[in-house]
Amino acid sequence: METQTLEFIAAFVLGLMLLFILIRLFYTPLRIAFKLVLNAVAGGVLLMVINFAGTLAGISIGINVVTAAVTGVLGVPGIALLLLLQIVLRA
Protein backbone atom coordinates (compact mmCIF):
# COMPACT_ATOMS: atom_id res chain seq x y z
CA MET A 1 0.00 0.00 0.00
CA GLU A 2 2.82 2.41 0.81
CA THR A 3 4.56 1.86 -2.54
CA GLN A 4 1.41 2.86 -4.41
CA THR A 5 1.20 6.05 -2.38
CA LEU A 6 4.86 6.87 -3.03
CA GLU A 7 4.43 6.16 -6.75
CA PHE A 8 1.37 8.41 -6.82
CA ILE A 9 3.23 11.23 -5.06
CA ALA A 10 6.23 10.83 -7.38
CA ALA A 11 4.00 10.88 -10.46
CA PHE A 12 2.15 13.92 -9.13
CA VAL A 13 5.38 15.83 -8.46
CA LEU A 14 6.76 14.84 -11.86
CA GLY A 15 3.54 16.01 -13.51
CA LEU A 16 3.71 19.36 -11.71
CA MET A 17 7.32 19.82 -12.79
CA LEU A 18 6.41 19.00 -16.39
CA LEU A 19 3.50 21.44 -16.26
CA PHE A 20 5.78 24.14 -14.88
CA ILE A 21 8.31 23.54 -17.66
CA LEU A 22 5.60 23.68 -20.34
CA ILE A 23 4.17 26.92 -18.95
CA ARG A 24 7.62 28.50 -18.88
CA LEU A 25 8.29 27.28 -22.41
CA PHE A 26 5.08 28.63 -23.94
CA TYR A 27 4.60 31.77 -21.83
CA THR A 28 6.55 34.19 -24.04
CA PRO A 29 5.16 33.03 -27.41
CA LEU A 30 1.61 33.12 -26.04
CA ARG A 31 2.17 36.60 -24.65
CA ILE A 32 3.46 37.79 -28.03
CA ALA A 33 0.54 36.15 -29.83
CA PHE A 34 -1.94 37.77 -27.43
CA LYS A 35 -0.36 41.18 -28.00
CA LEU A 36 -0.51 40.67 -31.77
CA VAL A 37 -4.18 39.71 -31.62
CA LEU A 38 -4.95 42.71 -29.40
CA ASN A 39 -3.15 45.04 -31.86
CA ALA A 40 -5.00 43.49 -34.77
CA VAL A 41 -8.40 43.94 -33.13
CA ALA A 42 -7.70 47.52 -32.07
CA GLY A 43 -6.34 48.39 -35.49
CA GLY A 44 -9.23 46.70 -37.29
CA VAL A 45 -11.81 48.55 -35.22
CA LEU A 46 -10.03 51.85 -35.79
CA LEU A 47 -9.76 51.09 -39.51
CA MET A 48 -13.51 50.55 -39.70
CA VAL A 49 -14.19 53.74 -37.73
CA ILE A 50 -11.90 55.76 -39.99
CA ASN A 51 -13.54 54.33 -43.10
CA PHE A 52 -17.00 55.02 -41.71
CA ALA A 53 -16.34 58.53 -40.39
CA GLY A 54 -13.75 59.38 -43.03
CA THR A 55 -16.25 59.29 -45.85
CA LEU A 56 -17.44 62.70 -44.68
CA ALA A 57 -13.93 64.11 -44.94
CA GLY A 58 -12.93 62.16 -48.04
CA ILE A 59 -10.54 59.87 -46.18
CA SER A 60 -10.67 56.12 -46.65
CA ILE A 61 -8.21 53.29 -46.34
CA GLY A 62 -8.87 50.25 -48.48
CA ILE A 63 -9.12 47.02 -46.57
CA ASN A 64 -6.86 44.45 -48.22
CA VAL A 65 -4.06 42.05 -47.28
CA VAL A 66 -1.39 44.75 -47.00
CA THR A 67 -3.42 47.15 -44.85
CA ALA A 68 -4.62 44.26 -42.69
CA ALA A 69 -1.02 43.09 -42.17
CA VAL A 70 0.23 46.60 -41.31
CA THR A 71 -2.70 47.14 -38.97
CA GLY A 72 -2.31 43.70 -37.40
CA VAL A 73 1.38 44.06 -36.69
CA LEU A 74 1.57 47.74 -35.78
CA GLY A 75 -1.96 48.35 -34.47
CA VAL A 76 -3.00 51.97 -34.06
CA PRO A 77 0.39 53.41 -35.18
CA GLY A 78 -0.05 51.35 -38.35
CA ILE A 79 -3.27 53.23 -39.08
CA ALA A 80 -1.42 56.52 -38.66
CA LEU A 81 1.29 55.25 -40.99
CA LEU A 82 -1.27 54.25 -43.63
CA LEU A 83 -2.97 57.65 -43.40
CA LEU A 84 0.37 59.43 -43.68
CA LEU A 85 1.36 57.33 -46.70
CA GLN A 86 -1.98 58.09 -48.32
CA ILE A 87 -1.49 61.84 -47.82
CA VAL A 88 2.11 61.78 -49.08
CA LEU A 89 1.34 59.67 -52.14
CA ARG A 90 -1.64 61.82 -53.17
CA ALA A 91 0.41 65.04 -53.24
The C-alpha atoms of residue 2 and residue 43 are separated, in whole angstroms, by: 59
The predicted structure's pLDDT at residue 14: 92
CA–CA separation, 11 vs 5, rounded Å? Answer: 10
What's residue 62's pLDDT? 82
Per residue in 3-14, pLDDT (tens digit) is 778 888 888 889
Q: Which pLDDT belongs to residue 18? A: 93
pLDDT tens by residue, 12-57: 889 999 999 988 888 888 888 888 888 878 888 888 888 888 888 8
pLDDT at 91: 61
Look at residue 1 and tell me whether its pLDDT is greater than 90.
Answer: no
Three-class SS of the chain = CHHHHHHHHHHHHHHHHHHHHHHHHHHHHHHHHHHHHHHHHHHHHHHHHHHHHHHHHCCCCCCCHHHHHHHHHHCHHHHHHHHHHHHHHHC
The pLDDT score that the predictor gives to residue 3 is 73
